[in-house]
Amino acid sequence: MSLSSTFVKPVVGRRSGLRTGSRVSVTPQAATVVETAKAAGCGMAASAIKYSGLDLSSGNYTFFAPTDEAFKALPADVFESLHGNPELLAEVMSFHLCKGKTPGRFLENSPMMATLLTGEGGGRDTKLALGLRAGTQYMYTGSSDEKETAKGEICIGAPFQSTQGLPGPIEGGVITQTDLEADNGVVHVVDGVMIPKEPLPGDNGKTEQY
């Protein structure tokens, strides 16, 4: 089964019905971060997590969920590399997930956020960088077109890599929606897909505090 076959139309929420006589009582059920993301137009991200085999059954998570449009905008070679490769897909989607629940109002205090990849090697290359200041440079994955955040925007993604610790554009996207509540965390929608980078040889670990 290919990854593309798991990309299905989002379904909003879940409901359970209890029939009492001739009436049906509908009781809303809380949705997981995956289901919440799917309902918010991030169905490909939700399917990618399921296909990758990531287990989010315990604990709380902050999910920076890429939109379907973000996946479709990936360069063809990057998109195709994820097909039929659950292991690679698990790494990419782990890069979009952080342990614990971080509401939108706390993102401004988090210039770097550890992801689920951190436990597999540590270091800045498994952390997300957040551009908190207006005018922060960023670019979408696979693009060389540098952009700048407007006032009130937060960009997020892989930090710029430099053996000299020089500042540079974040590679990822902009957070377009925050604080979608789920029963096991919170979802923030992003208009780009974030790809973890391999550490550079001799990387001294320094990074600009965006």
Tens of pLDDT along the chain (210 residues) come to: 444 444 443 333 333 333 334 444 444 556 999 999 999 999 999 999 999 999 999 999 999 999 999 999 999 999 999 887 999 999 999 999 999 999 999 998 889 999 999 655 445 478 999 999 999 999 999 898 999 999 999 999 998 866 555 568 999 999 999 999 999 999 999 999 999 887 655 544 444 444
Q: Is the pTM of this model over 0.95?
A: no
Q: Which residues, at least 6 apart from 160, have a Cβ–Cβ distance to it below 8 Å?
A: 129, 166, 167, 168, 169, 170, 171, 207, 208
AA letter at 182: A
**Of all helices (H) and strands (E), which one includes residue 94?**
helix 86-94
The Cα 36–Cα 82 span in angstroms is 23
User: Which single residue is written with the structure tokens 């006032």?
Assistant: 151
Q: What is the DSSP letter of 109?
A: G
